[in-house]
Amino acid sequence: MSRETTGPVAPASRIVEVDIVRGFALFGVLLVNMYGFGADSIAWNFPTDKLAFAVMRVFFESKSWTLFSMLFGFGFAVQLQRAHARGFRILPIYLRRLAVLFVLGAAHALLYDGDILMLYAELGLGLLVVRRLPTRTLLLLAVGLMLVFPLARLVSTRDRHAGSEEIRSVGEARARLERAQRTHVYATGSLAEVAADNASAIPANPLEDVNSPESGLAVFAMFLLGFSVGRSGVLRDIPGHAAPIARVRAWGLGFGFSAMAAERVLAATAGYAVFRSQRAGPGVQFAGDLLFAFGIAALALGYAATLILAAQTPRGRAALAPLAGVGRLALTVYLTQTLMFTTLFYGYGFGQAFRLGPGAVTAWAVMIFAVQVVVCQWWSRRFRFGPMEWLWRSLTYLKWQPLRLRSDPTP
């Protein structure tokens, strides 16, 4: 079998709508990751900060990684279908693909302990195990995994806020931020000190903290949902499946936003919280956890369906084209996001960790993403892959891939 037969798919064969969805998810991932450097504290109580935090909380928190994880599962289904059509075995290539992804993730984790790539590489092995199961079984398994978080929190005898100490006042929250500015390795450490501190995050543990809605089990559930969508073939003929995609949009947005609204009502009236101190009783907590776990999945599907249908019109496709450029270079974008926001926050950079509130962080996230949009458009006009995508494919296929567009054979 020729190496060309087993090489990566040409850029022209990509599903543009999937790249658009991936680009949208990447902005959310950037925004939420940046909030982890102090902007999620209750210390920021100006109206603009409250508004920015609410937008992040309702529209992006947990929804972005959910959508990104669905796309990973979707991509595996597409790889299986193309491998079958081209008549080569997927296993050796896919295992190398995961191995390279794990190494890239481990290097990334030394800079930022919120890395997701190692977890994807580890859980990707699970997709190999279940890939031949019927779709109905995969969906039932996904639902079961989504239930682990609410059930685990219900029966847990530990602190219901996943081990965090309760912060009772804005003053206390501000004092903690000021202390972190003086003592946290991200705020004061050198690059070597940050890497040494983050080394404990390697490797990722898929079974760590099942009491969290963002555990490895929840990620794998999203893999299964995305894999099921990819296996269905719906996105190979989007115009022919416009009606069911529209139903997913209506159901996903309707149920998802309703669930988020109900969860917020429980937070305001009964002290329910997902990521902060939990004061609600067991029944309210379980109800809130169910709403959150299934609401974020529904919203992610609704977002995807909305973007896919919007891209079916010339005007919508043109408006969303910048997101497609970002999504096409997803690995490069994800890693360079970290380079940019760690330079902004870390002590060896501009030292802004624990000093910026939601409004400022949101503005920085928009600016960083805008730069990436422009650079991705420039790059895509000249090259077949992003630099990290090129490295990933070259190591996966054990052959340096042509990078410049002019390297493509002419008809």
Domain boundaries, the chain: 11-407
Give the model's pLDDT for residue 190: 96
Q: Which of 361, 328, 299, 293 is CA-nearest to residue 32?
A: 361
- Spatial distance between the Cα atoms of 256 and 88, rounded to a whole number of angstroms: 40
From 4-8, 288-292, 394-398, the region with the lowest mean pLDDT: 4-8
Residue 407's pLDDT band (cuts 50, 70, 90): very low
Residue 168 has pLDDT above 80, yes or no: no
Give the model's pLDDT for residue 163: 42
Higher pLDDT, 134 or 209: 134
Residues 23, 25, 31, CA angle at the centre, nearest 5°? 110
pLDDT tens-digit series, residues 213-251 = 999 999 999 999 999 999 999 998 999 999 999 999 999
Residue 375 has pLDDT above 80, yes or no: yes
Give the model's pLDDT for residue 203: 94
Give the model's pLDDT for residue 160: 46
Residue 411 has pLDDT above 50, yes or no: no
pLDDT tens-digit series, residues 22-56 = 999 999 999 999 999 999 999 999 999 999 999 99
What phi, psi does 404 have (nearest 5°)?
-70, 145
| Residues 252-262, mean pLDDT to the nearest whole number | 96
- Spatial distance between the Cα atoms of 397 and 377, rounded to a whole number of angstroms: 26
Residue 2 has pLDDT above 50, yes or no: no
Give the model's pLDDT for residue 258: 96
Give the model's pLDDT for residue 164: 45
Paired with 383 in beta bridges are 404
pLDDT tens-digit series, residues 331-360 = 999 999 999 999 999 999 999 999 999 999
Which amino acid, residue 344? Answer: L
Residue 389 has pLDDT above 50, yes or no: yes
Give the model's pLDDT for residue 209: 86
Give the model's pLDDT for residue 6: 55
Q: Are 124 and 80 in contact (CB under 8 A)?
A: no
Exposure of 269 in the CB half-sphere (CA atoms within 13 A): 8
Q: Which of 40, 62, 64 is CA-nearest to residue 53?
A: 40
pLDDT tens-digit series, residues 52-96 = 999 999 999 999 999 999 999 999 998 888 877 777 778 889 999
Q: How far is CA 52 from CA 46, 258, 284, in A?
A: 10, 20, 27
Whole-number average pLDDT of the chain: 91
| Residues 159-177, mean pLDDT to the nearest whole number | 69
pLDDT-above-90 percentage for the chain: 78
Paired with 404 in beta bridges are 383
From 24-38, 153-167, 353-367, 371-385, the region with the lowest mean pLDDT: 153-167
Residue 4 has pLDDT above 50, yes or no: no
Length of the chain: 411
Residue 276 has pLDDT above 80, yes or no: no
| Residues 290-314, mean pLDDT to the nearest whole number | 96
Distance of CA 317 to the CA centre of its chain: 23
Give the model's pLDDT for residue 162: 43
